Amino acid sequence: MTDLRLKTDSAKKWRTTYLAWGLLLPSVAFLSVFTLYPIGYSAYMSLFKNNMSTFATGPQYIGLKNYVDLFTRDAVFSKAFTNNLIIAAVTVPLSIALAVAMAIFANRVKAGKGAVRVSFFYPTLLPMVAVANIWLFIYTPMYGLLGSFNPNWRFLDNVNTVLQAMIVMLVWKQAGYVMIFYIAGLQNINQELYEAARIDGANAGQMFRRITWPLLRPTTIYVTIITLTNAYKMVDHLYIMTKGGPDNASNMLLFYVYQKAFDQSNTGVASAVTVILIAILLIATSVHFFTQDRRTFYA
């Protein structure tokens, strides 16, 4: 009787296991074909010299030379690398701060709550190409929206202001999207906590620091990863607005991959930059997740 029961439990366990793997198989196959294979192939091709000079002979194995040259000889890569760090360091906290403020306002407003949320979220619905054209009009000297106030303002033609102009556009584009997650987080907070805090004499600032922000930490972990990846995948708006100029002052890593792969037909260097970009995102997101998750309270 005991052996029969063990066999039955074992059969159920295997059926559950097979069912679980069967449900996961389509996602695993999709991930393998469209993510893991391209990453592996890019890592493999980054070890070869593959440009116009090797068109007749085929790719030549050079080991890690592409990586060494990028960090020691390639001034454009260094500029794009630095620009991306600045973009990430500025847009991530700005987008989160603005999103939290909009979420709190949209959650508390009484009249026209739906209209407020839609107006905040609307930029997210626009394609990046359309957003680039909108802000290109805003920044255009003389004829643009800001140019009508001062024709001498040339934000996209100045190496000192072009990056700031891109930051404003990116924050405007993604803050509404991040706001949606924070609205959901705010609605999951037990209102009795705020009532108890008011009875104890806490003001709005104290309630935000002691209740709202700590309980929004799981949401913050998630949206930080989203905004970080967004900061490193900016390419279409650069093609429309600046082409990475002036003097590579607005160039980014992903746009540099495009330049190397399609403009210069140098797939070896483009693959190396791709691997570096993936490594940056993987390390940054892993460190952020595993360090912040330990201090996070999940309701």
At 233, the pLDDT band (50, 70, 90 cuts) reads confident
What contacts 25, CB < 8 A, 6 or more positions away?
none
Looking at residue 295, its pLDDT comes to 60
Mean pLDDT of 40-49: 93
Looking at residue 256, its pLDDT comes to 94
Selection from 257, 236, 86 nearest residue 160 by Cα:
86
At 298, the pLDDT band (50, 70, 90 cuts) reads low
Cα distances (Å, whole numbers) of residue 131 to 178, 237, 257, 260: 17, 8, 22, 25
Looking at residue 27, its pLDDT comes to 87
| pTM confidence score | 0.86
Selection from 257, 268, 274 nearest residue 58 by Cα:
268
Return d(Cα 161, Cα 164) in angstroms, integer: 5
Looking at residue 79, its pLDDT comes to 95
Is the pLDDT at 17 greater than 80? The verdict is no
Residue-wise pLDDT for 110-154, tens only, equals 888 888 888 999 999 888 889 999 999 999 887 888 878 887 888
Is the pLDDT at 16 greater than 60? The verdict is yes
Token pair 């930080």 is at which residue? 224
